[in-house]
Structure 1
Amino acid sequence: MIRRSTLLVLPVALLLSACGSGEGGDAAAQPTATCQSADPTAQPPSSVSTDLATEPEVPATDALPPCGLVVADVVVGDGAVAEAGSAVEVKYVGAFYESGEVFDASWNRGADETLPFTAGAGQVIEGFDQGVQGMAVGGRRYITIPSDLGYGANGQGPIPGGATLVFVVDLVSVS
């Protein structure tokens, strides 16, 4: 009869042996980080425009993406604040974290085009929803969204599975 403790030790031993000893082992076999810990608030890239009349650009980066949601205010608004249950309208640019390549933008449909939704109601991806809450009208926010708060492991449409996304969002109205 095999003891329960033996069943628990065997998988752990197999996992450890698969990792190598770290001495002279194959570097490719070593685990690599896919994200980094980051504060939930940060400074936005200096290249993101503060001019709310112009479409913002998302810079490319070679930095590891954050493991969690990160928001960075480019412009702090002075109007009503978006809270769960608020009807909001935003302008946005959505891009891939690493390349800065835009996959969607309300700006592409016209400078006055907005996306209306109810904050906290699950009408947009979770990271976008969370990232907009707390913004004040007249603000621009740079929101970095990990895959688990975006389109997940499977992706959707032009978004591949596991993608970290960036949205630059202008809060136009709250009611």
Structure 2
Amino acid sequence: MKLVKSLVAVAITVSMFSCGNQVKEVKTLNTEIDSVSYAIGLNMATQFKANLKEVNDDAFIQGYISGKDSTNLLVAQKDIQTIINTYLRKQQTAKMEEQRAKAAKEAEAKFGDNKKAGEDFLVENKTKEGVITTDSGLQYIILKEGTGDQPASPSTRVKVHYHGTNLEGEVFDSSVDRGTPAEFVLNEVIKGWTEGLQLMKEGAKYKFFIPQEMAYGAQQRGDKIKPFSTLVFEVELLEVLD
């Protein structure tokens, strides 16, 4: 990582520190090594700003001094990269979550009516005869019950035929129309499928009504799956593979 390389490069900046371990202000760059040292310092600061929201200057300088002298180490050499990489991963995760939240908020402002239409549909649909609603909000109708094996866990691989539509009845994907069954591991698909297929046995055919939060949420998928779309699938479990 760039930050790790910067921490290694700090060894070149020896001239920035006096024997008393105090920062000595440099006002002019008289030699080539002065310029190189200063340029590396500027480069490191730029990388810190890009990767870290804050830096404890005292701890940073003490780490440099300890590393230069190889004495009084507060962190073992073998743990350095783990500490830095763990922190950077947390920062990256937080940034991605912030970006997703922002995108979801913008999508909801634009497609809020679509979200409400799905919610209203599910409220009415759950009162219809034959519709079963799970604790998660997934709704389904048993079109045909099966008698074979049942997926044991989200890591089970299955073979299915399916036919998917939006609430307007437009088909957006169909293995039935293609004439080729789909194979996948349950935890690699949308949450509504992961949960729903574990309710089925081989030979069963269910109709699922999947809330947007168990489908693609704020994402748009093609022309017919708009953000916050409630989806309808007829799914036939052909085989539990493993």
1:91 and 2:161 are equivalent in the alignment: yes
- The 8 Å contact of residues 37 and 68 in structure 1, kept in 2 or not, is answered as no
1:114 and 2:184 are equivalent in the alignment: no
Aligned to 1:133: 198
CA deviation digits over 1:38-69, x for unaligned, max 9?
Answer: 75x9626xxxxxxxxxxxxxxxxxxxxxx921
CA deviation digits over 1:86-133, x for unaligned, max 9?
Answer: 211000000012x221111001211xx1111112x2x11111221111
- The 8 Å contact of residues 95 and 167 in structure 1, kept in 2 or not, is answered as yes
- Distance in 1 (CA, whole Å) between partners of 2:148 and 2:129 is 22
Point out the structure with the larger helix share: 2
CA deviation digits over 1:23-49, x for unaligned, max 9?
Answer: xxxxxxxxx88432775x9626xxxxx
Aligned to 2:171: 102
TM-superposed deviation, 1:155: 2.1
Aligned to 1:161: 227
TM-superposed deviation, 1:157: 1.8
Identity of aligned residues (%): 34
- Distance in 2 (CA, whole Å) between partners of 1:145 and 1:93 is 13
1:171 and 2:240 are equivalent in the alignment: no
The unaligned stretches of length 5 or more in structure 2 are 1-115
- The 8 Å contact of residues 38 and 68 in structure 1, kept in 2 or not, is answered as no
Aligned residue-pair number: 117
Shift of the 83–72 alpha-carbon distance from structure 1 to 2, 3 Å rule, reads: farther
TM-score normalised by L of structure 1: 0.59
TM-score normalised by L of structure 2: 0.44
- Structure with higher Rg: it is 2
TM-superposed deviation, 1:83: 2.7
Q: Secondary structure at the match of 1:152?
A: coil
Shift of the 118–154 alpha-carbon distance from structure 1 to 2, 3 Å rule, reads: closer
- The 8 Å contact of residues 71 and 144 in structure 1, kept in 2 or not, is answered as yes
Q: Secondary structure at the match of 2:193?
A: helix
Structure 1 segments, 4+ long, off by >6 Å, are: none
Point out the structure with the larger strand share: 1
**Over aligned residues, Cα RMSD in angstroms?**
2.6
Superposed, 1:1-175 pairs within 5 Å as 34-35=119-120, 36=123, 43=130, 68-84=137-153, 85-97=155-167, 99-110=168-179, 113-119=180-186, 121=187, 123-158=188-223, 159-175=225-241
- Distance in 2 (CA, whole Å) between partners of 1:127 and 1:160 is 17
The unaligned stretches of length 5 or more in structure 1 are 1-31, 45-66
TM-superposed deviation, 1:71: 1.7
Shift of the 155–137 alpha-carbon distance from structure 1 to 2, 3 Å rule, reads: same
